[in-house]
Amino acid sequence: MLEAYVPVLLFVMVAIGFAVVALVFASLVRPERYNKVKLEPYECGIETTGDARDRYSIRYYIVAMLFVIFDVETVFMFPWAVIMNRLLLFGLIEMIVFLFILIVGYAYAWKQGALEWA
């Protein structure tokens, strides 16, 4: 019964070995030149102001969630577009209903002011 787990154990050992070899190789070839700029939290050239753990408005997260929701919903249109010639009129009506629901949701979020976080 344990013979079935030998390939899994072998795969785990190869994965761990690859990770260790890659880290050791990277530590051998990387340059060891540190300076003041490299040790700063951000290398963008702008001095940090305030604490990095400041509070953000909840509207920021609402906009992010709405973006993800609408983005994921629009991804459902790709498979429809691929087989559109087989769906014919039914597929067209189905996609029009889907887009209508999507637009109504977007209009509702816009009317509620969820998209105005800045």
pLDDT of 44 reads 67
Average pLDDT, integer, range 57-74: 84
Residue 18: is its pLDDT beyond 60?
yes
Cα gap 69→81, rounded to integer Å: 20
Answer yes or no: is 118 within a domain. no
- 31-35, 49-53, 75-79, 109-113, range with the lowest pLDDT: 49-53
Which two three-digit tokens encode residue 84?
A: 């559109």
Range of the domain at 8: 2-111
Q: How confident is the model at residue 78 (pLDDT cuts 50, 70, 90)?
A: confident
Domains in the chain: how many in total?
1
For the chain, the helix, strand and coil percentages under 3-state DSSP, each to the nearest 5? 70, 0, 30
Q: Directed axis angle between helix 84-111 and helix 58-75, to 10°?
A: 170
18: domain CATH number?
1.20.58
Q: Does any domain span residue 97?
A: yes
Could you give the percent of the chain with pLDDT greater than 70? 89
pTM over 0.75, yes/no: no
* DSSP string over 10-56: HHHHHHHHHHHHHHHHHHHHS-----TTTTSS--SSPPP-S-TT---
- Cβ-based neighbour number of residue 106 at 10 Å: 16
Token digits of residue 40: 């700063």
